[in-house]
Amino acid sequence: MMSSRIFKKRKSIKQVEESNELAPKFDKNGLIPVVTTDFKTSEILMQGYMNEEALKKTIKIGEAVYYSRSRKSLWHKGKISGFVQKIKEILIDDDQDCVWLKVKVLGGASCHVGYKSCFYRSLQNITEDGVELKFTENEKVFDPEVVYPGIENPTKL
């Protein structure tokens, strides 16, 4: 069992910003945002959240474990799909309220829609009247209906 001392108490701005102590800030829902990139291409794959337990588990097992806000539970990424994210590096930002994971994705995809990255659309043709999303990935890596049979889509309106 990893010690709970892995997270230090937040004592001062200097400690948080300029020391070598890990003192992450979880918001009032107990969550910290996480940005995950491909360690080779640097592409952003997804943005998610972790609670304390998820961050500790990620550090301990070396695979990305998020907190699913829709399912209200820990979410070991890839447990269903096989697209496990192997941790290559974990960084934290200046005020320690955001985590950056650099990962290697087994199977090559991170997005439940089937694309490699969740960010597969870019804003184009911006005018006074509107904007159009253009797909930046042309083909899906996998078919979600095959990989996630009968599983509820996590996207909420």
DSSP designation for 67: E
Minimum distance, C-beta of residue 50 to a copy of itself, in the bound complex (Å): 13
Residues that bind a copy of itself (CB under 8 A): 2-3, 5-6, 10-13, 16-22, 25, 33, 35, 37, 41-44, 46-47, 59, 89-95, 98, 100, 111-113, 115, 118-123, 126, 128-136, 153-157
Cβ-based nearer residue to a copy of itself, 97 or 107: 97
How far, CA to CA in Å, does 42 sit from each of 67, 102, 113? 23, 8, 20
Please answer whether residues 8 and 22 qualify as being in contact, where contact means their C-beta atoms are separated by less than 8 angstroms: yes
Cβ-based nearer residue to a copy of itself, 39 or 74: 39
Environment class of 86 (CB within 10 Å of its CB; exposed 0-12, middle 13-18, buried 19+)? middle
Minimum distance, C-beta of residue 31 to a copy of itself, in the bound complex (Å): 11
